[in-house]
């Protein structure tokens, strides 16, 4: 059993023994890339133009996407199967199939009723889990634990592959520095170094040792590139990035994902510097393939080719298809009939060279051979259920949730609570007992019955030692309904009388309780796609609920459930203890309960700078000094300019010291390296985790550089009184940067500052120099 699973074994005792993951079903040895390419070329020589273009098209299986009885959003195509399209060889891939029977049906049509018997690629949004749900990516980024993240994505991959899925549209690795953007929940936050580490870990977890590894799926990092920089944080709006921002901030996670072997890349929807990303040759060919060396295939986001017309870029869908393909797109994803079908006519009219069609088809056929789909396109439904029922998956989800928790505030050591010290415990809030907000079930088939909500987790933890009761107190809803609202059935909004009555119930429960666990934040439909916000305050009447509960005089602990930093005005200054749980996944309630009662010591750190209010947005730690750094904390006259919570911050139930750094040499010579060492010591009375972080700053050079840049981190677990040495290695990759004037990677000689500590405000300081002459860097 992995050491990552061991901590959750006791908590899962009631579910049976925690087992190691069983070996995947026997499969043929993975096909080498060279052999797959040769086989793809032989098949390509037999294909008609129509068959080739069919391979470049992917369609939604709408009937699989929406469960029985669900209401599809307005504008969604009819819920009709794609049988005829598959039978006519019009599709190379289908997405959202998650039932083995449906997967086998489509594959049977593809390999038995088409001329060349080419199997389908089946794709799915396996973003933070499949049946077993892990914490959302912004949460797992808070763990600063790439090994745990890799394991989590491996579990998700095994469940997906068992259901017949070959490919995920994940990880989402867009850097996001504006918390108004709803999709910040899907990524690793604001920092390119942390983002790159999490991107690589997720690719390794999804794909295993390489494409074709049994029990794994192809990773499809998205959205290339700059989607997280949308103006005003408004989803789908244009983004404007300088070359410096693009290369130094937004590209590093994609470079790391590609270096880790990602087989697919998804292009973005939005205009980047006034050119749609899905028809931008500079992005998709010059940078993605030229600079980053990507060898796989590029797919668009849903209906992005059709959208080129809506964006005022293409004249019609034929023009859109030509421009997307020639820019570097290999496959079109579409909800409706594919625009790429017009490429048949475009080739015959000599508007598209057959060479470019063949190039795209070859990439897709190659990956199908590498996955072994020609040998075995089908899935074993009986074996699938065994994988889905593996108790080790739930154990891994609980460990992930525990390691993703961030203790934001703990005045007077309000936490941990002592089990049994309070005989009546109230768990109040709109998300307190909401399985959907714990497991993040939007359009996808999680098992809500197995979800452990905050209320359920605390009830199980205090079973026999306290009475635990719950009530929502408030109802939360969006002003503009979620496009996926129909999946949960029609919303039943409270009347004013019900609203007042529910608030009274919550206050009455607080009065008769010894302690109140108050969940605050956002419902899951308030985060993710089409969930941008103009305001970061707590939605609904949550502040009113908090004030009413505080007025009872009972001790209050806040558990935040949210997908973005929120304005904590009136919360942070009033509540002694705040635990950030994010959306914690299938076992999230158990993880939160263990943390609240001291079985687990929170060790996560914030992967984003936390603004005081929306007026500070965007705010991030890696800013430039500017010409007047002495006034940086006084830029606003009506409020502090400093953030509420810095990047990399998180408290613990114990205390740590981090010694000043020592360097094995004072100069980083060309092609050399420096080893930085520090010692971290647990000076408290509990075992706990600390994340040691290393930051650097270049004092002078050919371009202004950020005041600090994260260039190393390590999470360590220490017993009381224990010390450990932590080492980081710096080389030229850590000091190079993209120079916007010289339009290339450069290294400047000179003095650098270095800090180690437990947040971006680290104080333990040293210096080093970079030797040599000003030079270009790779």
DSSP string, 666-682: SEE-TT-EEEEEEEEEE
Nearest to 711 by CA among 277, 332, 252: 252
Q: 673-682 and 662-663: which strand pairing?
A: antiparallel
User: Alpha-carbon distance 112 to 715, whole Å?
Assistant: 52
User: Alpha-carbon distance 420 to 8, whole Å?
Assistant: 21
Nearest to 494 by CA among 480, 473, 508: 473
Q: What is the mean pLDDT of residues 368-380?
A: 97
Q: Is the pLDDT of residue 638 over 70?
A: yes
The pLDDT tens digits for 92-144 are: 999 999 999 999 999 999 999 999 999 999 999 999 999 999 999 999 999 99
C-beta of residue 556 within 8 angstroms of C-beta of residue 518: yes
User: Alpha-carbon distance 330 to 334, whole Å?
Assistant: 13
pLDDT, residue 326, reads 98
pLDDT, residue 482, reads 79
The pLDDT tens digits for 44-83 are: 999 999 999 999 999 999 888 776 656 666 667 776 789 9
The pLDDT tens digits for 266-310 are: 999 999 999 999 999 999 999 999 999 999 999 999 999 999 999
Higher pLDDT, 473 or 14: 473
pLDDT, residue 18, reads 32
pLDDT, residue 444, reads 52
The pLDDT tens digits for 157-183 are: 999 999 999 999 999 999 999 999 999
Q: What is the mean pLDDT of residues 360-387?
A: 96
User: Alpha-carbon distance 581 to 154, whole Å?
Assistant: 22
For the chain, how big is the Rg over CA atoms in Å?
26
User: Alpha-carbon distance 159 to 172, whole Å?
Assistant: 19
Nearest to 440 by CA among 374, 402, 496, 487: 487
Length of the chain: 778
User: Alpha-carbon distance 647 to 765, whole Å?
Assistant: 18
Nearest to 706 by CA among 586, 620, 614: 620
C-beta of residue 185 within 8 angstroms of C-beta of residue 174: no
Write out the two tokens for 369.
């051979």
Q: Is the pLDDT of residue 43 over 50?
A: yes
Q: Which residues of 348-358 are buried (b: 16+ CB within 10 A; e: fewer)?
A: eeeebeeebbb
C-beta of residue 328 within 8 angstroms of C-beta of residue 305: no
Percent of the chain with pLDDT over 70: 93
The pLDDT tens digits for 305-355 are: 999 999 999 999 999 999 999 999 999 999 999 999 999 999 999 999 999
pLDDT, residue 350, reads 98
pLDDT, residue 480, reads 87
Percent of the chain with pLDDT over 90: 88
Any idea which residue has 């933070």 for tokens? Answer: 128
- Band (pLDDT 50/70/90 cuts) for residue 449 is confident
DSSP state of 341: G
Q: What are phi and psi of 265, to 5 degrees?
A: -135, 140
Q: What are phi and psi of 85, to 5 degrees?
A: -65, -40
Q: What is the mean pLDDT of residues 623-634?
A: 91
3-state secondary structure 26-87: CCCCCCCHHHHHHHHHHHHCCCCHHHHHHHCEEEECHHHHCCCCCCCCCCCCCCCCCHHHHH
Any idea which residue has 């598959």 for tokens? Answer: 86
Q: What is the mean pLDDT of residues 471-498?
A: 83
Q: What are phi and psi of 441, to 5 degrees?
A: -90, 105
pLDDT, residue 489, reads 57
Please state the pTM of the whole predicted model.
0.95
Higher pLDDT, 221 or 22: 221
Catalytic position from the list 235, 301, 330, 433 = 301
Write out the two tokens for 730.
């710096």
Neighbours of 421 (CB within 10 A): 11
Helices 391-404, 146-162: crossing angle, 10 deg rounding: 150
**Dihedral (Cα; 498, 499, 504, 509), 10-degree rounding:** 90
Q: Is the pLDDT of residue 4 over 60?
A: no
Write out the two tokens for 374.
């020609």
- Band (pLDDT 50/70/90 cuts) for residue 255 is very high
726 forms beta bridges with: 678
Any idea which residue has 């904390």 for tokens? Answer: 633
Q: What is the mean pLDDT of residues 443-448?
A: 58
Q: Is the pLDDT of residue 491 over 80?
A: no
C-beta of residue 542 within 8 angstroms of C-beta of residue 430: yes
C-beta of residue 342 within 8 angstroms of C-beta of residue 321: yes
pLDDT, residue 7, reads 35
Q: What is the mean pLDDT of residues 758-773?
A: 98
The pLDDT tens digits for 541-580 are: 999 999 999 999 999 999 999 999 999 999 999 999 999 9
Domains of the chain, start order: 3-45+125-331+338-354+379-385 (3.20.20.300), 406-602 (3.40.50.1700), 656-776 (2.60.40.10)
C-beta of residue 391 within 8 angstroms of C-beta of residue 428: no
The pLDDT tens digits for 15-36 are: 332 333 333 444 556 789 999 9
pLDDT, residue 17, reads 28
DSSP SS3 for 339: helix
Residue 83 catalytic?
no
C-beta of residue 550 within 8 angstroms of C-beta of residue 556: yes
Residue 11 preceded by cis peptide, ω within 30: no
């Amino acid at each position: 059993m992995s050491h990552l699973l061991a901590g959750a074994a006791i908590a899962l005792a009631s579910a049976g023994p925690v087992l190691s993951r069983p070996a995947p079903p026997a499969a043929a040895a993975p096909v080498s890339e060279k052999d797959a390419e040769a086989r793809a070329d032989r098949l390509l020589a037999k294909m008609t133009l129509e068959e080739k273009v069919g391979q470049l098209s992917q369609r939604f299986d709408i009937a699989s996407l929406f469960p029985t009885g669900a209401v599809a959003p307005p504008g969604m195509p009819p819920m009709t199967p794609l049988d005829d399209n598959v039978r006519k060889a019009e599709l190379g891939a289908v997405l959202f199939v998650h039932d083995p029977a449906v997967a086998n049906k489509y594959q049977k049509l593809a390999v038995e009723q088409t001329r060349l018997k080419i199997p389908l690629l089946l794709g799915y949004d396996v973003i933070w889990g499949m049946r077993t749900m892990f914490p959302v990516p912004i949460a797992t980024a808070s763990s600063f634990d790439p090994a745990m993240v890799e394991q989590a994505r491996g579990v998700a991959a095994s469940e997906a592959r068992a259901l017949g899925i070959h490919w995920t549209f994940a990880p989402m690795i867009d850097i996001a520095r504006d918390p108004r953007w709803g999709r910040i929940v899907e990524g690793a936050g604001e920092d390119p170094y942390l983002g790159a580490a999490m991107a690589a870990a997720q690719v390794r977890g999804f794909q295993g040792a390489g494409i074709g590894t049994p029990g794994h799926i192809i990773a499809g990092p998205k959205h290339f590139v700059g989607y997280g920089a949308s103006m005003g944080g408004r989803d789908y709006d244009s983004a404007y990035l300088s070359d410096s921002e693009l290369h130094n901030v937004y590209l590093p996670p994609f470079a790391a994902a590609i270096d880790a072997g990602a087989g697919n890349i998804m292009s973005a929807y939005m205009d980047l510097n006034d050119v749609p990303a899905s028809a931008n040759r500079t992005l998709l060919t010059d940078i993605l393939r030229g600079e980053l060396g990507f060898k796989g295939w590029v797919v668009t986001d849903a209906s992005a080719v059709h959208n080129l017309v809506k964006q005022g870029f293409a004249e019609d869908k034929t023009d859109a298809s030509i421009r997307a393909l020639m820019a570097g797109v290999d496959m079109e994803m579409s909800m409706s009939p594919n625009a790429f079908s017009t490429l048949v006519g475009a080739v015959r009219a000599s508007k598209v060279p057959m060479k470019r069609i063949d190039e795209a088809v070859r990439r897709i056929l190659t990956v199908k051979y590498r996955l072994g789909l020609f040998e075995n396109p089908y899935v074993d439904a009986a074996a699938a259920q065994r994988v889905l029922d593996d108790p080790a998956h739930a154990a891994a989800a609980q460990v992930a949730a525990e390691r993703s928790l961030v203790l934001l505030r703990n005045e007077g050591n309000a936490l941990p609570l002592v089990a049994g010290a309070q005989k009546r415990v109230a768990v109040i809030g709109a998300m307190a007992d909401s399985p959907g907000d714990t497991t993040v079930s939007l359009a996808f088939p999680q098992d809500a019955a197995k979800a452990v909500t905050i209320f359920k987790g605390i009830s199980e933890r205090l079973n026999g030692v306290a009475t635990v009761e719950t009530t929502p107190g408030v109802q939360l809803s969006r002003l503009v309904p979620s496009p996926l609202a129909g999946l949960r059935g029609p919303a039943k909004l409270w009347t004013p009388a019900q609203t007042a009555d529910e608030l009274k119930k919550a206050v009455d429960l607080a009065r008769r309780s010894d302690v109140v666990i108050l969940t605050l934040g956002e419902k899951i439909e308030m985060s993710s796609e089409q969930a941008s916000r103009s305001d970061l305050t707590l939605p609904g009447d949550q502040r009113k609920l908090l004030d009413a509960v505080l007025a009872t005089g009972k001790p209050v602990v806040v558990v935040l459930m949210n997908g973005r930093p929120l304005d904590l005005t009136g919360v942070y200054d009033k509540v002694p203890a705040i635990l950030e749980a994010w959306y914690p996944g299938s076992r999230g309630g158990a993880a939160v309960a263990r943390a609240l009662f001291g079985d687990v010591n929170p060790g996560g750190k914030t992967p984003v700078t936390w603004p005081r209010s929306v007026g500070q947005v965007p705010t991030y730690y890696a800013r430039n000094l500017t010409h007047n750094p002495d006034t940086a904390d006084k830029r606003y006259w009506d409020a502090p300019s400093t953030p509420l919570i810095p990047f990399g911050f998180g408290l613990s139930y114990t205390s740590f010291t981090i010694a000043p750094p020592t360097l094995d040499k004072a100069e980083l010579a060309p092609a050399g390296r420096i080893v930085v060492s520090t010692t971290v010591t647990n000076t408290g009375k509990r075992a706990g985790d600390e994340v040691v972080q290393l930051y650097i700053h270049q004092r002078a050079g050919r371009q202004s550089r950020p005041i600090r840049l994260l260039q190393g981190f390590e999470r360590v677990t220490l017993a009381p009184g224990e010390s450990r040495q932590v080492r980081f290695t710096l080389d030229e990759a850590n000091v190079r940067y993209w120079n916007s004037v010289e339009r290339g990677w450069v290294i400047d000689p000179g003095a650098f500052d270095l800090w180690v500590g437990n947040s971006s405000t680290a104080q333990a300081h040293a210096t080093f120099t970079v030797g040599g002459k000003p030079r270009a860097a790779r």
